[in-house]
A and B are shown apart, each in its own frame.
Chain A
Amino acid sequence: MHHLGNFSLMAVVVMCAYAVVASLLGVKKQSSQLVNSARRALIAAAGFSALSVAALLALFLADDFRFEYVASYSAAALPWYYKVSALWAGNDGSLLFWTFLMLVFAAACAISRRRDELMPHVVATLGGVILFFAYMNYWVCNPFGQLAEITAAGPIPFTPRDGNGLNPLLQHPIMAIHPPILYTGYVGFVIPFAFCVAALWTRRLDAAWIQNTRRWTLIAWFFLGSGILLGGRWAYVELGWGGYWGWDPVENAALMPWLTGTAFLHSVMIQERKGMLKIWNAGLVIVTYLLCVFGTFLTRSGIVSSVHAFASSEFAWRFLVFIIFAAILSAALLITRIKDLRTENELEAVVSRESGFLFNNLLLLAACFAVLWGTLFPVLSEAVQGEQISVGAPFFNRVNVPLGLALLLMTGVGPLLAWRRSSLDSLKRNFTVPLLSGVAAGVLLFALGMRHPYAILCFAMSAFVVVTIGSEFHRGVRARRAHRGGGYGTALFDLVQRNTRRYGGYIVHFGIVLLFIGFAGNAFNKDVIADLNRGESTAIGPWKVTLQDLPGGETPVHNWLGAQVLLSKNDEPVGIFQPRRQLDKATGQATSEVRRHATFQEDVYLVFSGMTEDGRATVHVYRNPLVRWVWIGAFVMFLGTVLTLLPNRSPVRRAEVTAAEGAALEAV
């Protein structure tokens, strides 16, 4: 099986190299046959990549511990589904999986956009990028290496009786899907990147490449965001520290391209509509993809220490060379095409939708820069000062919370601004109700005793944005009903169907508001640690936790000890929970199995930290308000994004609007 894996890897290298050469030769000789064969080579490479992944998977499922990678991340007693997820548990396998996913995107693009005039250059770019990863897979991080014992007579093949097992923290259903989803997001940005490079290369710099890659970008953005949130969910339910986001370098690595990708999704609207910001958009796509590769570099290089990182890889410099090479090449393309990227229109007013997008982009990029700067500052400090420092959550929270709040505000302000310019009248008309709602919410919370300034601001702005979104829907429905009659629900359905992008976007914004409401809950987190004998209790607010029993047991994978507690609220029993400590048999690693009582108001989060020497159970109880809204917000964002990906039932026919009418409308 490993021969098949290795052969397939080699075939991927050959096919990608061929795709680059054939597509460029095809362009030069104007041979559609060569260009098509290059495109097919990329599709074939995806097939071979799938074979190599299948081969490694077969080795995992067969418990073939002759292979170092299988022996390092699996064990015979591991359930089959964790043997599957062990495939991406280490550096070599995850890189193989990364390449496979990138080729899936490349092949889907090569099939669906085969008639696109940019395709030869897109294929060349994709082939070049994937060639690097295939080279790394085959020569540098090959997961098909066999174990050998070094003896005087030379290396002798060695097969351990069992594998080291999978890190018990990774033995969680979310961990079975989080990495593939996150990777899909990371690699998905290769498609807009390839189209951007192709557009710059061929000087076809109108908005066509952006329109053609809009769905690809949105899919990548969606998967990256979903992967980030799933990672947060896993951290919350599995790690046992009571939080979902720790500003770890690897978490930051995923957040950065998501932020620049979000900026891009907004600024493309200006290019599509007004032919402006061409350089900016091309730059954003390039930066987003480079940040994606930088993310995997951070994970694999060990230049910053992270709880998520793979072991420090001596091969990381190759990634750095690739990133620098790609950055220089992209920058050179961008600089040499600056004249072709001239704007077709000019901004007319500071108070306009266009400038709103500009400020939204500025805030997103500032947040991205703050995250990048904080992540790399320890490296810089050590290089400049010779002293190691840490940059943790207190830094990132202090710097990014104000930026996040400003972004939340822009989520509400943006849709209220008119294109070209907003008159004072339209500002008054659009802003009065949402602004009053926000202020009223803030005043009410203050009157009710809330004193945390950021929390008050966050809730007030959330009210402002929700009313903005509501009024946008309401105005649209009112107009449709005036035109076509019918009930409110029918008109709403009709409205959304006719402009999925716009109203899907609003739903995503609503999801963002819910996320921020969940984030604001962090300001009121409380926790208590208590050593309890059976029958003893500890309290936090209205909640009381009483230790009832200390059961224990064994599964094929681990031994466990639990703290069975009765949770009561205002002395009314709520339920019996059993947070556990588990000891993984294969790795000897102890982990927490937390238990939660989750409501819309707050989570009571129970951790059994261990036993004291005098036989008492140490129980850590967290009271985390509003956390559930983070997961609900994520789900709403999912729904909104799916909606934006759907085609309009009846596209808005702009041609029906005369130029003069359009101009007049935009001035409204």
Chain B
Amino acid sequence: MRFRSLLAMAAAAALLTGPAVSQDRYNSADFQRVTHALTCQCGGCNAIVGECAMDRCPSSEPIREEVAERLQAGEAAEDIISMFAERYGLVILSAPPTSGFHLSAWILPGVFLLGGAAVVFAVLRRRRSVAAAAPAGGGAAVPAVDASPEVLARIERDVEQIR
């Protein structure tokens, strides 16, 4: 039984072994920036290279290693990102470029928000004008009244009590 366990552990250790690397270079700010601008190309996980937790990932690990080497060789972070984009295509970038057709990815949510805000303001203005045109308008569930501050204060107090 002991022998079987040792065998199993040896098998596990062998399968869990990865390439020997020096990890200090994995901890620089530039390394973090570049690896977070790239996505894993293993074909399904969509993970950011800097966050991919797959054991011995055939995509993220070589990319991380190459990024570290290039940074050590003195290449600029932006140049490394561009180099990967040229090699793999735009699919490796973790966010769409901010030019050409892909700019629409960034712009449209803002357009939606501003368009929606314009519609809300237009609705508010139109409805306010309708309400102003018919101050005692039929259908108003609660007709407006002219109440003194004392009455208002008393009502507020009463309603607080029944809350």
Contact = CB atoms under 8 A, between A and B. Distances in A.
A559 B160 CA distance: 64
Contact of B161 (A480, A559, A664): A480
A522 to B, nearest CB: 12
A660 B151 CA distance: 11
Contacts of A663: 142-145
A274 B141 contact: yes
A667 B144 contact: yes
A31 interface: no
Interface string B20-46: 111110110000000011010001111
Contacts of B93: 389-390
A454 B38 CA distance: 24
Interface in B104-141: 105-106, 108-109, 112-113, 116-117, 120-121, 123-124, 127-128, 130-131, 137, 139-141
Max chain A Cβ within 10 angstroms of own Cβ: one of B20, B93, B108, B162? B162
B83 interface: no
Interface stretch (A342-350, A434-442, A625-633): A342-350
B89 to A, nearest CB: 6
Interface stretch (A62-70, A146-154, A221-229, A605-613): A605-613
B17 A610 contact: yes
A362 B120 contact: yes
A663 B137 CA distance: 13
Interface string A555-588: 0000111000000000000000000010100000
Chain B interface category by residue count:
35 or more
B131 to A, nearest CB: 4
Interface of A is mostly: mixed
Nearest to B31: A529
A345 B138 CA distance: 9
The residue in B12, B52, B94, B106 that gathers the most chain A C-beta atoms within 10 A of its C-beta is B12
A410 interface: no
B73 interface: no
Interface string A466-504: 000000000110011011100000000001001100100
B76 interface: no
A610 B152 contact: no
Contact of B128 (A306, A349, A479, A666): A349
Most buried by A among B90, B102, B105, B161: B105
**Contact residues of B: prevailing secondary structure:** helix
Interface string A245-289: 010110000000000000000000000001100000000000000
B21 A531 contact: yes
Interface residues of A, number: 99
A366 B157 contact: no
A391 B8 contact: no
Nearest to A551: B9
A162 to B, nearest CB: 18
B51 interface: yes
Nearest to B120: A358
A338 interface: no
Interface in A195-243: 239-243
Interface stretch (A123-131, A170-178, A326-334, A395-403): A395-403
Contacts of A239: 53
B23 A387 contact: no
B117 A362 contact: yes
Contacts of A552: 8-9, 12-13
B58 interface: no
B96 interface: yes
B87 interface: no
Interface stretch (A184-192, A292-300, A317-325, A377-385): A377-385
Nearest to A350: B124
Contact of B141 (A344, A482, A664): A344
A612 B17 contact: yes
A524 interface: no
Nearest to B90: A389
Contacts of A374: 105, 109
B102 to A, nearest CB: 7
Interface in A623-668: 652-653, 656-657, 659-668
B36 to A, nearest CB: 7
A370 B27 contact: no
Contacts of A72: none
A530 B123 CA distance: 59
B96 A561 contact: no
B47 A241 contact: yes
B46 A305 contact: yes
Contacts of A430: none
Contacts of B26: 529
A664 B128 contact: no
Q: Which of A344, A363, A390, A616 has the most CB of B within 10 A?
A: A390
Given A484-B161, A612-B19, 4 more contacts: A348-B128, A392-B48, A609-B18, A660-B145
6 closest A-B pairs by beta carbon, nearest first, are A479-B160, A552-B9, A370-B109, A346-B131, A559-B12, A392-B94
28 contacts: A241-B53, A243-B51, A246-B46, A249-B46, A346-B130, A355-B120, A366-B109, A369-B108, A392-B46, A394-B94, A403-B109, A476-B160, A484-B161, A530-B24, A531-B21, A553-B5, A559-B11, A561-B13, A581-B55, A610-B17, A611-B13, A611-B16, A613-B17, A618-B23, A659-B143, A660-B147, A664-B151, A667-B147
